[in-house]
Each structure stands twice: as structure tokens, then as C-alpha cells.
């Protein structure tokens, strides 16, 4: 699939590699491929570049370089944080929002077992700070709060900065899975969180790279993987420097575009949603009333199952999703929409539309038009089916 042939609206699953990231990866594979842990001059050059990358990322996150640990992705980092904190607080409990990514929810079950509290969300897709405070007051054993920055299905931004302060006031640490936020919105306030997790491929970096920001001084014993002394003993394993330079190049590109394209991105999506409301008055945009990621629209179409929409849209050159990629294999209705009180039947009509930074207003217009075309096609199919004709997939 070339990005040019298709109109790609599945960036929350993965984004295409940015040209800057490809160039950085290739250059590093050419000139900086030595093992940064090797005592050779080539190793030292690789180690210096690694520390440069660490400083740049720390700058983006308002953190210290020693607070940054490079990982293979967000799932590894989320697993490592929850495992570490569970061991650190054997009598403590964790509070996780009901709409966390499975790598947080399942890690909570695995490492905290019967010490897991769920923070509910409102029907608008956001957790309530009031509910958070109530729970923290009622359960003094909560030692870790996990709340994502922006939801991967609805795009709804969560009040993570205020939640971090509340957690701190109640003596709990705060973990923020910022996978869908980083590279799309400013990360300057992330220093408020005890743990921040990001993933390179969501913003156009190479797959297989991500990071964890922690508070180094308070977490000397943190070791996500043990073995070699890499990452100051916090994450053993040969450092994937080429991919890290690629991730940093993608992040820099994303940071540049944030100011430059913010208005363009926002207005293109607004126009799309306006047309959607006009042509499909009974469609439901999940989290519509809340501030959301500029790239994401989660919409329950008025009729027909989401997989049928998806297949038809793809025939017309538009790639969307039915929900989060990692849940697709199981074909379970979204736990995010369920937590918002959305009926299964509505969830099964829901499309997740998530643009990349290269998506244009023209792409959004094309998608709106194509949704109308596909609606007619699917209605016609359904009518034929009702008269006994074989149903097309």
C-alpha cells in the first residue's frame, strides 16, 4: 500500500513512516550502526548520538535526560511500569480508567490481580475528576493511578494534568499512557506525570520503538528488562539507535507541524463532521461534546455493520478502522464505547476514522463524499438481500 494510492484514515493503529524518519534511520544504519555499548570509537559515536536523542526527547517532555528510557514501544513500557509499581507496593492498589489501552488494563490484571480499581468514564468519553477524587478519598491504598492522555478510539482528551495533581495530593503516583498524544499535541506539560509512555510508529516513526519517561532519582531500582547495563540499567538489550533517530526525526516533524498545521487540521475535520451531521443526522459522533485529538472521529453510522462499511470504503480507496487494531482479532465490541454506556449494537456500527499529519482537507472531503456513496451501496445491498439475492461481502 502506497500512502499516495489510498486515503489512509487508520493512523491510530499505525502511521506511515515519515520521510524524515526513513532518512534518519537509513543514515544511522549507514554511519551509526555500531553498538553504543561497544568500547570502540564507532561505539562511542553511537553512544553520543543516543544521548543526544535522549536530551532532545527530554526537552519535548520537560524532563531531564536521565528520566528518558527508550523501549520497543508503548506496550513494553506500560507493562514495565505496572509490573514495577506492583512489586514496589505489594499492599497498594491501582486505579485505572475503564478506557485504558489493553496494555494497561491487562497489565493491571496481571500484576495487581485483585488490587485493581476502575475509574469510570462519563458518556462523553472523559473520566470525571470529581469521580477520581471520590475514589482516591475512599481508597487510601491506591498507590498508582493510570490515565491515558487521549483515547485511541474516540480521541477524547483526558484531564491527565489535573488528575496527576490529584493523585499526587493523595500520595499516589501517576502514569500517563500518552501514545496517541505525543507527536500530535504538545508534550510540554508531561513533566507533571510520574510516568509517561509514548510510541514512535503512531506519529510516523519506525515501528519497534517507544519510550518511557520516569523520575530517575525516585526509581533507581526500575529495570524493565534485565541483562546488559543499557539505559542506565533500566532497560537491558541492544539499543535500537537507528529506530530511535527515526522516531526523533518524526517527533521533530510533528512538533514543527503542530503550530503550522493545527488550524488546517482542525478545520478540515470540523467540515467533515459538519457534513456527516447533515447527511447522516442519526449518526452518533462519540465524545462529540469534548475536546478530542484533531485527527480522530469515532462515529456510529445510522445503519449497517462497521465491517461492511470498512470493506466498501476500502474498495473506494479509503482505509478506516472498526476500532482499535489490537482488539480487532477478537472482534469484541469496544470496551471503550461500552464504558461510555454505548450499546453493543451501536458499537458494531461504529467506524474509527483517524487521519495522519499528511491528511488534507481534500482527503476529508473525499471521505465524506464516499461515505454517502457507500451508504447508498449498502442500502441497495440490504434491499437486494431482503429480496433473496445473494449478499455481497
73 is an interface residue for a second copy by CB under 8 A: yes
Sites for a second copy among residues 179-198 (CB under 8 A): none
Contact present, 327 and 102 (Cβ < 8 Å): yes
Closest Cα to residue 5, out of 313, 318, 309, 312? 318
For helices 102-112 and 74-88, what crossing angle results, to 10°? 30
Contacting a second copy (CB under 8 A), which of 24, 163, 212, 310?
Answer: 310
42 is an interface residue for a second copy by CB under 8 A: yes
Which span sits near a second copy by CB under 8 A: 5-13, 249-257, 293-301, 359-367? 5-13
Sites for a second copy among residues 315-334 (CB under 8 A): 319-322, 324-330
Give the helix/strand (H/E) hosting 119.
strand 116-119
239 is an interface residue for a second copy by CB under 8 A: yes
Largest CA distance in the chain: 75
Judged by DSSP in three states, 349 sits in coil
CA pair distance 172, 362, nearest whole angstrom: 46
Which span sits near a second copy by CB under 8 A: 11-19, 159-167, 338-346, 359-367? 11-19
Sites for a second copy among residues 78-97 (CB under 8 A): 78-79
Nearest distance, CB of residue 93 and a second copy, angstroms: 19
242 is an interface residue for a second copy by CB under 8 A: yes
34 is an interface residue for a second copy by CB under 8 A: yes
| Residue 326 is a catalytic residue | yes
Active-site entry in 60, 176, 326, 342:
326
Sites for a second copy among residues 204-233 (CB under 8 A): 206-209, 223, 225-230
Joined together, the cell numbers standing for residue 116 give 485493581
Contact present, 319 and 15 (Cβ < 8 Å): no
Report how many residues bind a second copy under the rule CB under 8 A. Answer: 76
Which span sits near a second copy by CB under 8 A: 99-107, 138-146, 249-257, 333-341? 99-107
Query: What's the burial of 12, exposed, middle or buried (CB within 10 Å: 0-12/13-18/19+)?
Result: buried
H-assigned helices in 143-219: 160-169
Judged by DSSP in three states, 124 sits in coil
Which span sits near a second copy by CB under 8 A: 60-68, 112-120, 199-207, 297-305? 199-207
Catalytically annotated residues:
326
Amino acid at each position: 500500500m502506497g500512502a499516495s494510492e489510498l486515503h489512509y484514515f487508520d493512523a491510530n493503529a499505525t502511521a506511515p513512516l515519515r520521510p524524515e524518519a526513513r532518512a534518519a534511520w537509513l543514515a544511522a544504519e549507514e554511519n551509526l550502526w555500531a553498538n553504543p555499548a561497544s568500547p570502540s570509537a564507532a561505539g562511542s559515536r553511537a553512544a553520543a548520538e543516543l544521548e543526544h536523542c535522549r536530551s532532545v526527547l527530554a526537552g519535548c517532555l520537560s524532563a531531564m535526560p536521565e528520566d528518558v528510557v527508550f523501549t520497543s514501544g508503548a506496550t513494553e513500557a506500560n507493562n514495565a511500569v505496572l509490573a514495577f509499581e506492583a512489586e514496589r507496593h505489594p499492599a497498594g492498589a491501582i486505579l485505572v480508567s475503564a478506557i485504558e489501552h489493553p496494555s494497561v488494563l491487562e497489565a493491571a490484571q496481571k500484576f495487581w490481580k485483585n488490587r485493581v480499581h476502575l475509574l469510570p468514564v462519563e458518556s462523553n468519553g472523559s473520566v470525571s475528576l470529581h469521580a477520581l477524587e471520590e475514589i482516591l478519598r475512599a481508597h487510601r491504598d491506591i498507590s498508582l493511578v493510570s490515565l491515558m492522555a487521549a483515547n485511541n478510539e474516540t480521541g477524547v482528551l483526558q484531564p491527565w494534568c489535573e488528575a496527576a495533581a490529584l493523585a499526587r495530593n493523595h500520595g499516589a503516583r501517576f502514569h500517563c499512557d500518552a501514545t496517541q498524544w505525543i507527536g500530535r499535541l504538545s508534550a510540554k506539560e508531561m513533566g507533571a506525570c510520574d510516568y509517561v509512555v509514548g510510541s514512535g510508529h503512531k506519529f510516523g516513526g519506525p515501528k519497534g520503538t517507544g519510550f518511557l519517561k520516569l523520575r530517575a532519582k525516585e526509581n533507581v531500582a526500575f529495570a524493565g528488562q534485565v541483562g546488559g547495563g543499557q539505559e542506565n540499567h533500566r532497560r537491558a538489550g541492544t539499543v535500537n539507535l537507528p529506530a530511535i533517530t527515526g522516531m526523533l526525526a518524526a517527533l521533530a516533524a510533528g512538533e514543527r507541524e503542530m503550530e503550522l498545521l493545527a488550524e488546517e487540521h482542525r478545520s478540515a475535520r470540523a467540515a467533515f463532521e459538519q457534513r456527516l451531521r447533515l447527511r447522516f443526522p442519526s449518526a452518533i459522533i462519540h465524545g462529540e461534546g469534548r475536546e478530542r485529538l484533531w485527527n480522530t472521529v469515532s462515529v456510529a453510522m445510522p445503519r449497517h455493520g462497521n465491517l461492511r462499511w470498512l470493506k466498501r470504503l476500502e474498495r473506494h480507496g479509503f482505509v478506516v478502522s472498526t476500532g482499535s487494531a489490537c482488539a480487532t482479532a477478537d472482534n469484541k465490541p469496544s470496551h471503550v464505547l461500552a464504558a461510555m454506556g454505548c450499546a453493543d449494537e451501536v458499537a458494531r456500527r461504529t467506524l474509527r476514522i483517524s487521519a495522519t499529519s499528511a491528511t488534507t482537507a481534500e482527503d476529508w472531503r473525499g471521505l465524506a463524499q464516499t461515505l454517502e456513496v457507500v451508504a447508498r451501496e449498502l442500502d441497495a445491498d440490504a434491499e437486494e438481500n431482503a429480496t433473496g439475492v445473494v449478499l455481497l461481502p
